[in-house]
Structure 1
Amino acid sequence: MKNFAMIGAAGYIAPRHLKAINDTGNNLIAALDVNDSVGILDSYFPNTDFFTEFERFDRHIDRLRRDSRNAQAEYIAICSPNYLHDAHIRFSLRSGADAICEKPLVLTPDNIEELKTVEAETGHRVNTILQLRLHPSIIALRDRVARTDLPTKHDVELTYITSRGSWYLESWKGDTKKSGGIATNIGVHFYDMLHFVFGEVQKNVVHYVSATKAAGYLEYTNARVRWFLSIDIDDVPAEIRKAGQRTYRSITCDGDEIEFSGGFTDLHTRSYEEILNGNGFGLDDNWVAIDTVTNIRNAIPKGLIGDYHPFLKGQTV
């Protein structure tokens, strides 16, 4: 049994990490969040020491590290806001623990290069959750692309709409300096998936970007990709909204829909299993996706959004 600590225990994604720690037979010994709405801990680890101040959490982790009974945290799960990931990863490594960080790992490729130095200094490792690489449908698509004898440019369309209320823009997620913007916050694992399946990025053009939606074109070694991301409920197709659904997810390759709506439930647990077996996704695995979203964030948009999403005809930049 391994000892875990967690930073960001009240966050949206924290329950998946709590479940993964529990499902893999491990123990959560300490948790931190500035918010105290963490009653979910009782469902998994009711004896966890909980802190709302980083300084007290830091002292506790340091005391455990010095404990001769080997009670220290061996892994620290990071579910904090995106802009804090880099600092919390550094804290984890320097506290004698491996880090398991939610997406996006960091906000810029420079952060990745700097963390490599901290890994080398401490001898501890950074892992991240790139769960789509473990999804059966995505693995099958990658195998299909790999079986092609000669390089082929597949035509891919990616649409991901996950509607959010007005709270979203009032929170840290609505602040590009803290979240990285919509492409980073809700899209980074899709860009990683595209790289994982179709190879290296050759072209990155942004046609539209706002606080609530973005669209563009990416070209990979083996694909031409038109993509659209949104948190606006009005972008969900009418027939989907009528059915009471607030999320719409679609990936087509050469006109064929890739079905991956299911199979998400246990991907964090699968990720933890791989990490504990020494097969986690590390810093280098994240570089292409983080570079992609950094370029999207810094791009000057070009074109018509309606050209890149069938439900938005007539909307212009």
Structure 2
Amino acid sequence: MKKFALIGAAGYIAPRHMKAIKETGNELSVAYDINDSVGIIDSISPSSEFFTQFERFSDHCHQLKRDPNTKIDIFSICSPNNLHHSHITAGLRLGADVICEKPLVPTEAILNDLIEVEKETGHKVYNILQLRHHDAILKLKEQIANDNRAEKYDVELTYITSRGKWYLESWKGNLNKSFGIATNIGVHFFDMLHFIFGDLVDSEVYYTGQTKAGGYLEFDKARVRWFLSIDANDLPESVKGKQPTYRSIDIEGEEIEFSNGFTDLHTISYQEILAGRGYGLEDARFSVKTVEHIRHAKDLVTDESRLHPNVKKLLTESSL
């Protein structure tokens, strides 16, 4: 049984990590968050220590490290995106491996620094790339791998996840903390496309805003028009009022709608990591590089066939 420490216990995604720790037969020993709305711990591990000051949390973990029977084996990081690097390196230097939520870090340079800290400490960092474990995605990857066609696939990726007004008031609406909509909600979808369609050939960005973004990615095996949004008004009429989230890959007119099947992906991710099959820093490199480029790019439209329909609509409306 592994002993876990969790950073960011009051966050949106933390309960999935707590559940994964419990369902893999391990123990949440200690948790930390600057906010104290963490009553969910009672249903997971009521004997866990909890701190709202990082210094006290870090000191406690350091004391646990002195005894092989109490030392923390793995840190789980669920904190705001801009703090991931600091919290990852703290976990490594406290003698533990680290599991971190997406986006792992904002830039390739910071990723390279983590590789150096891994070497210094002898411990490993694992990224949650949960879509690589989704049944529909695995089936699609196998299908594409077995298809020997020479032509590239024409693909539309649409991800709309409705968020209320709180989103922009929280750290997620702060570009210096979340790094923007494409990084915060899009990073694991870009990783998924790379996972299925191979290496990146070209990338263009046509629209970026507080609540949505869109562009074009070309891979070895596909040309992808993508659109991401947290605006419920962007939901297709067929799902409005029925579900708050819409995830879809359309491959030349054939839609793979994969909004379901997400419930247990964090637990599966933990099972794979604990079995020695987790995704490490090099596995995260593509998605980190891609979102870093997207944050700084704004390309002119030279080929309208590269526009996602939702992006085309936005550009048309903005020119009126």
Same fold flag (TM > 0.5) = yes
Q: Deviations along 1:68-116, whole A, 9 cap, x unmatched?
A: x520110000000001001110001000000000011111111111100
Gap regions ≥5 residues in structure 2: none
Instruction: Give the aligned partner of residue 246 of structure 1.
Output: 244
User: Post-superposition shift, 1:21?
Assistant: 0.3
Q: Deviations along 1:173-201, whole A, 9 cap, x unmatched?
A: 11112111000000100000000000111
User: Post-superposition shift, 1:123?
Assistant: 0.5
Q: Deviations along 1:35-87, whole A, 9 cap, x unmatched?
A: 000000000100000000000001000000012x5201100000000010011
Instruction: Give the aligned partner of residue 285 of structure 1.
Output: 283
Instruction: Give the aligned partner of residue 15 of structure 2.
Output: 15
Instruction: Give the aligned partner of residue 178 of structure 1.
Output: 177
> 2: CA distance between counterparts of 1:160 and 1:150?
27
* Secondary structure, aligned partner of 1:34: coil
> 2: CA distance between counterparts of 1:113 and 1:287?
9
**Equivalent AA in structure 2 for residue 262 of structure 1:** N
**Equivalent AA in structure 1 for residue 224 of structure 2:** V
Instruction: Give the aligned partner of residue 41 of structure 2.
Output: 41
Counting only pairs closer than 5 Å after superposition, residues 79-228 of structure 1 correspond to structure 2 as: 79-228=78-227
> 1: CA distance between counterparts of 2:252 and 2:309?
16
Percent identity of paired positions between Structure 1 and Structure 2: 57
Indicate conservation of the 8 Å contact 2:247/2:257, yes or no.
no
How many residue pairs get aligned? The number is 315
User: Post-superposition shift, 1:214?
Assistant: 0.5
* Secondary structure, aligned partner of 2:276: coil
1:315 pairs, out of 297, 314, 317, with 317
> 2: CA distance between counterparts of 1:20 and 1:205?
36
> 2: CA distance between counterparts of 1:61 and 1:116?
23
> 2: CA distance between counterparts of 1:105 and 1:76?
14
Stretches (4+) displaced over 4 A: none
1:270 pairs, out of 256, 268, 271, with 268
Q: Which moved more, 1:6-15 or 1:157-166?
A: 157-166
| Shift in alpha-carbon separation, 1:13–1:302, aligned structure 2, 3 A | same
**Equivalent AA in structure 1 for residue 175 of structure 2:** T
1:296 pairs, out of 279, 294, 297, with 294
> 1: CA distance between counterparts of 2:310 and 2:100?
35
**Equivalent AA in structure 1 for residue 2 of structure 2:** K
> 2: CA distance between counterparts of 1:116 and 1:48?
31
Indicate conservation of the 8 Å contact 1:151/1:221, yes or no.
no
> 2: CA distance between counterparts of 1:308 and 1:114?
36
Instruction: Give the aligned partner of residue 51 of structure 2.
Output: 51
Indicate conservation of the 8 Å contact 1:5/1:73, yes or no.
yes
Gap regions ≥5 residues in structure 1: none
> 2: CA distance between counterparts of 1:260 and 1:233?
18
> 2: CA distance between counterparts of 1:193 and 1:45?
33
User: Post-superposition shift, 1:15?
Assistant: 0.4
> 1: CA distance between counterparts of 2:293 and 2:77?
25
**Equivalent AA in structure 2 for residue 267 of structure 1:** L
Indicate conservation of the 8 Å contact 2:207/2:311, yes or no.
no
Q: Deviations along 1:250-284, whole A, 9 cap, x unmatched?
A: 11112111132221111100000000011100000
Indicate conservation of the 8 Å contact 2:211/2:230, yes or no.
yes
Instruction: Give the aligned partner of residue 27 of structure 1.
Output: 27
RMSD of equivalent CA atoms = 1.7
TM-score, normalisation: structure 2: 0.95
* Secondary structure, aligned partner of 1:161: strand
User: Post-superposition shift, 1:3?
Assistant: 0.3
Indicate conservation of the 8 Å contact 1:237/1:311, yes or no.
no
Q: Which moved more, 1:164-173 or 1:43-52?
A: 164-173
> 1: CA distance between counterparts of 2:60 and 2:279?
28
> 2: CA distance between counterparts of 1:302 and 1:166?
31
Q: Which moved more, 1:229-238 or 1:80-89?
A: 229-238
**Equivalent AA in structure 1 for residue 243 of structure 2:** Q
> 2: CA distance between counterparts of 1:35 and 1:99?
22
User: Post-superposition shift, 1:301?
Assistant: 4.2
